[in-house]
Amino acid sequence: MPSLNINGKAMTVDADSTTPILWVLRDTLGMTGTKFGCGAALCGACTVHVDGVATRSCVTPISVAAGKKLTTIEGVAADKVGLAVQNAWVAHDVAQCGYCQSGQVMSATALLKGNKKPSDADIDAAMAGNICRCGTYARVRSAIHAAAATLA
């Protein structure tokens, strides 16, 4: 049984080490903030952080997170960057249907942790793997710039 650190809490899960992180979070632990979108790491809805790196949880086995810090949308606001991103998301009315937003927030947070003043090109590159069927990409970019400004 893999031992994990999820959102700052140590836990052991009853799951095969090859089970994708997404299914351990959703089915074993009942943490439904991380969404299933495509199952092929193409849409970004399932994005979590493994040691601060945006990771597609639908294709990443739980063994990859063993011994590392796993952060989900439920825990991202415990960090000042994640909280700034979530606040900017609300202030800029980014979400429409909301389905992709947990993955969007996780990718944006990972970007800002590594790049405090991203350009539009930096944002576009970091967010390219996150698909939004509602097309709120301009709001996503504005919210990321706003979050960066509050962190400066």
Domain boundary among the residues 71, 100, 128 is at 71
| pLDDT tens digits along 104-150 | 999 999 999 999 999 999 999 999 999 999 999 999 999 999 999 99
Asked if 43 and 99 sit in the same domain, the reply is no
| Residues paired with residue 69 on neighbouring β-strands, in sequence order | 5
| 142 neighbors 107 (Cβ within 8 angstroms) | no
Asked if 65 and 106 sit in the same domain, the reply is no
| 70 neighbors 7 (Cβ within 8 angstroms) | yes
Please tell me the distance from the alpha carbon of residue 74 to that of residue 135, in angstroms, as a whole number: 24
| pLDDT tens digits along 67-112 | 999 999 999 999 999 999 999 999 999 998 989 999 999 999 999 9
Going from the C-alpha of 137 to that of each of 96, 113, 120, 132, the distances in angstroms are 11, 20, 11, 7
Asked if 56 and 84 sit in the same domain, the reply is no
**pTM of the full structure:** 0.96
